[in-house]
Chains A and B, each alone.
Chain A
Amino acid sequence: MLKPILLVEDDLRDQELTLLALERSQLANEVVVLRDGAEALAYLRREGEHAAREEGNPAVILLDLKLPKVNGLEVLEAVRSSPALRSIPVVMLTSSQEESDLLRSYELGVNAYVVKPVEFKQFVSAIADLGVFWAVLNEPPPGSLRASRRYD
């Protein structure tokens, strides 16, 4: 069983487009979609309604920067300061090109920082690259198909 990809995104359209992109990159991983930072932390810590989920960390967390309740930077900080979660790759997905956000993300130990391209095709290829790199290349599960990237 492949580890799931955790997508934390509050914007439904971004969510749909990201899921489409992940789908097009033909990754076999399950994608868990959560809509705010608090829920993401509950999922990761197996608390509240996620208490019953199976053990194990996601393959990668795709984290939007601007999130309700607990924002992306705070989630990242919490992940990095928890011994159980520390090793999960985190990719910050954001609309922002703000240098301060970028600096802060790297300070907190983000693995990648991706400014979502306006062009859908670029967006798809960026997501696909990320998914492949973090979900597949980093930890190729034995016997699984190597996902092929698709560029239009």
Chain B
Amino acid sequence: MIGASRRHRSDGGAWFPALFPGLVLRADFLRPYVLKPIPDLHFCDREPIRVPGAIQPHGRMLVLDGTTQALQAWSANWADVAPAALSVLDAQVLGETPADGSSVQVGVLDLASRRHVCWAHRNATQLIVECEPQAEVLRPEAPIYGLARDFLPRLQAAGTVQALIDLAAQELQRLTGFGRTLVYRFDAEGHGEVLGEALMPGYESYLGLHFPASDIPQQARALYLSNRFRLIPDANYQAVPLLAAPDGPAPGEIDLSQAFLRSVSPVHLEYMRNMGTLASMSVSIVVDGRLWGLVSCHHHEPRLLESSVRAACSHLGQLLSMQIEAKQANAQVAARLDLRQLTLQLVAHLADSDASLRRILDEPAVLLRMARASGAAVVLDEQVWTTGETPPSPALVELAGWVAGLGSEVYQSDQLAAHYAPAADWQGTAAGVLAISISQVHRHVILWFRPEVVQTVTWAGDPRKSQQPDARGRIHPRLSFQRWAQQIGGRCLPWSGAEVSAAGELRQALIGIVLRRAEELAAIANELGRVNKELEAFSYTVSHDLRAPMRHIAGYVDLVMDTEGAALSERAHRYMRHVKSAAAFAGQLVDALLDFSRMGRTALKLKRVETAGLVQGLSLELSRHESGRRIEWRIAPDLPELTADPLLLQVAVRNLMGNAVKYSRDRDPAVITVRALRGPEGEGLEVEDNGVGFQMQYVGKLFNVFQRLHQSDEFEGTGIGLANVKRIVERHGGQVWAWGEPGQGARFGFVLPEARQNAGMHSPDGAPADHA
């Protein structure tokens, strides 16, 4: 039969494990891993561990008003001599007890023929005096001296944190004579792991055991930080209650958190007895203001430590804390330096390349080492590059999108699937991810992956057993310490702070490079603009100043021939004609060059242009100029409608058709075919003739300015027409090409993009239309 009130107390499932003396454990200490929901009673957080209202029986306590030193309460084991004891103590010495809570010796008392040493410390409002019997064994020297003389040099000589821990475990065992000495470390989440131990015969090893963070409730952690030494000499003790003076505070309101006699919970004592541990002691290891770990001692028999030994243990804890702090700081600096080196290597490589982010994969080993990752990927929008083991590319694109959407510069998770469900599919390769987002605008993300570590963790007993009520209906402390292998799935090794910050640094550096690149491009654009302006000014000058002399030459030669022609010889006439035609040609060249430069500069005015009409008109015009020739025009009926600047398109088509007419002048009849081109890249025209053609080896030169493949006395021209065609087509985003065969003919074509299909408006057959 379970009484309701009783169950209320026991349902909290709280007990004090011997591992952490004086502490309360929570029933839900393995919350993430138990299958069944546990009633979450924050009993432990309410446990009055600071104000138990009782002390352990190996000493006596006086509680005085902090200012008046009036006796407010005393432990019951004084019987009625408490006021007398107080009168023996020197009020002035008591008054000098420091305000910071530290404990000082304030005098001695002789009680029941035993000399007692009295200590005092202050809580917020009171002066707590604790008296304990003086040690009977006389030591040649206080153990603290040996600690400073022998232990400290060895501690300083230790190279690693592990060596420190091993030394500390042995030294504490030597000092205290406890059977089992353990050194724990707590990880970032508060889970404990036994890193070192010193055992006497008959004690089971706990080395390598893990303890869940929930073993130690928040208030207990706070107490570990403020009071770094705890001792329970005998778990079978009978607590001595505090008795209050009539006008004193209730015993349950007196803060004993700094008192070495503070009584602990009976549940914890029962737990200790179940473990066969009758004495326990622990010393906190505090690094950087955080509870880094604990040194914990257990003994099968009751064991009391005299004050000099307790002082040495506290001191050892401080020495160990300082040494660990120094070692860790050094190790962190070394790790950060190492990572920075790797980051610099990556950045230096990237800065030397074209600054494209994917170049970072040129150094795959460095990239992976930087984050101790097994795979890495660069995702630039839809493009993916990888090294090592990564999820498949489509998954990477989606993951990068998700990461970028989080809006954080650096993202890390050692359990990605818990936050991003699709990750569950590839936990084997990427249980955890570290990612940096390079651009806020684009999805530019660098990702590192670590595989799932099937972490085989040894827990201190099967956590689920602790949920079984015993025969009396109480949730019982764990009775066995069988090793329990808890496999944690879906997790990778956690990303260290140094790795995360190295990724952040890499991100900053990459952004720097990208920005510098953008600045360089902007500078180039500026420079281009300036050069363009210069060119404009240049061509303006050319158009004015170069044409004038050509005109003058031609004009005056004409005048000479007009006025003095009769007096000149036939040879002089011929010379004058050469001068004239040379000047005229120079004028044409200047005009052509200016046209060419204008083609590149004038803004495009895009319209829908019906090429059928354009080609038809041009063929008539060109035929008119070649009235003595027979030209057979074969113009396809389905010429496309193009999106283009009508004027420029006309110039381009005129050039192509004009060339066809010109280079087929030896043919009778000349056959010139104009047909439509339609393809994925757009629509366009092709002009083919049966003229002199050209050798394909020169096709690359054909479209260059002033490039001619024929001698100028063979075919007239400035050599700028095809350059114009190319420039016009390329300004429309199109492509131009040529095919030729000497003596057979040539074929020139172009396509412009974004032209809408208008097939079906004409009959699809390419029936030739003759315009001879």
Contact = CB atoms under 8 A, between A and B. Distances in A.
Given A118-B584, A118-B587, A120-B559, A97 B543 contact: yes
B591 interface: yes
B594 interface: yes
B594 A17 contact: no
Given A96-B540, A96-B543, A99-B602, A117 B594 contact: no
Contact of A98 (B540, B550, B583, B591): B540
Contact of A13 (B552, B557, B602): B552
A9 B751 CA distance: 47
Interface string B578-590: 0000011001100
B543 A118 contact: no
Contact residues on A (Cβ < 8 Å of other chain), bracket? 20 to 34
20 contacts: A13-B548, A13-B555, A13-B556, A17-B551, A17-B552, A66-B544, A95-B547, A95-B551, A97-B594, A98-B540, A98-B543, A116-B547, A118-B554, A118-B583, A118-B588, A119-B554, A120-B554, A120-B555, A121-B558, A123-B551
Contacts of A99: 598, 602
Nearest to B543: A96
Interface in A4-38: 11, 13-14, 17, 20
A118 B554 CA distance: 7
Contacts of B554: 118-120
B543 A95 contact: yes
Contacts of B547: 95, 116, 118
Interface of A: 11, 13-14, 17, 20, 65-66, 94-99, 116-121, 123, 152
A95 B544 contact: yes
A96 B544 contact: yes
B140 to A, nearest CB: 108
A14 B552 contact: yes
A25 to B, nearest CB: 15
Contacts of A98: 540, 543
B585 to A, nearest CB: 9
Contact of B555 (A17, A66, A95, A97): A17
B544 A119 contact: no
Contacts of B545: 95
B558 A120 contact: yes
B601 to A, nearest CB: 9
B602 A20 contact: no
A118 B562 CA distance: 17
Given A66-B544, A98-B540, 19 more contacts: A13-B552, A13-B555, A17-B552, A17-B556, A20-B559, A95-B545, A95-B547, A95-B548, A96-B540, A96-B543, A96-B544, A97-B591, A99-B602, A116-B547, A117-B551, A118-B587, A120-B555, A120-B557, A152-B562
B532 to A, nearest CB: 14
A117 to B, nearest CB: 7
A121 B583 CA distance: 14
Given A97-B591, A118-B584, A123 B544 contact: no
Nearest to A24: B562
A43 to B, nearest CB: 24
A119 B552 CA distance: 9
A118 B544 contact: no
Nearest to B586: A118
Contact of A116 (B551, B556, B559, B583): B551
A147 B380 CA distance: 76
A98 B602 CA distance: 11
A17 B558 CA distance: 10
A119 B585 CA distance: 10
Contacts of A118: 547, 550-551, 554, 583-584, 587-588
Nearest to B552: A13
B579 to A, nearest CB: 12
A-B CB proximity, top 8 nearest: A118-B587, A120-B558, A120-B555, A95-B547, A17-B555, A13-B552, A95-B544, A118-B551
A119 B584 contact: yes
Nearest to A14: B548
A92 B556 CA distance: 22
Interface string B553-585: 011111100100000000000000000000110
A10 to B, nearest CB: 11
A121 B543 CA distance: 20
A152 B561 CA distance: 12
Contacts of A120: 551, 554-555, 557-559
A107 B550 CA distance: 29
A20 B555 CA distance: 10
